[in-house]
Amino acid sequence: MYITEEQILEWLQEVKDPEIPVLSLVDLGVITDIDIDDHRVRVTITPTFVGCPAIDYMKQDISDVLNSYGIDHVDVVVSFEKSWNSNMITEKGRKALKDFGLAPPPKHNLIVDIDILERIECPNCGSTNTILNSPFGPTACRSIHHCNDCKETFEQFKPV
């Protein structure tokens, strides 16, 4: 069987973030390399946060999905060589986050200051009349905000 990197990436669209089931690992940007050697596939991933507890789960999921397409030898390697930042979330991924009710992270120049956490667009009503409640949310990668217009409290996938 001849497989291409594109094919692998297409299959991996099935692997979702364990905590955000609408967002694939491909669109999240955590898959940084795919090496195909005959019928062995090596997938390199990089965590959004170093202490992300979902990494082992993701590794298993990647192996399971590729196994189901007949690839018996899958190695999933965690590396910091290509370090994740939130600009790596694709446009498709950003839309999925928004539809899920999670504000996507603002694009930034890799220097995150407190200013860009303020006035985040509310995923419920679109208002930017919002305040940051806490840069720490229910998972390492989310912050908590409040919308002064629709009065909803919402979470944001935070910029890193």
**Per CB under 8 A, which region of 28-36, 60-68, 87-95, 130-138 contacts another protein?**
130-138
Rg (CA), the chain: 17
Amino acid at 106: P
Contact (Cβ atoms closer than 8 angstroms) between residue 156 and residue 83: no
Q: How far is CA 117 from the centre of its chain?
A: 18
CA distance 159 to 87: 8
Site stretch for another protein (CB under 8 A), options 12-20, 79-87, 98-106, 149-157: 79-87
Tally Cβ neighbours within 10 Å of residue 25. 23
| 106 touches another protein (CB under 8 A) | no
Among 80, 131, 151, 153, binds another protein (CB under 8 A): 80
- The residue from 6, 38, 51, 91 that contacts another protein (CB under 8 A) is 51
Stretch that binds another protein, among 15-23, 98-106, 136-144, 145-153 (CB under 8 A): 136-144
Site membership for another protein, residue 87 (CB under 8 A): no
Length of the chain: 160
Alpha-carbon span 43 to 65, nearest angstrom: 12
| Residues of the shown chain interacting with another protein in the complex, contacts defined by CB under 8 A | 46, 49-53, 80-81, 83-85, 112, 114, 133-138, 140, 144, 158, 160
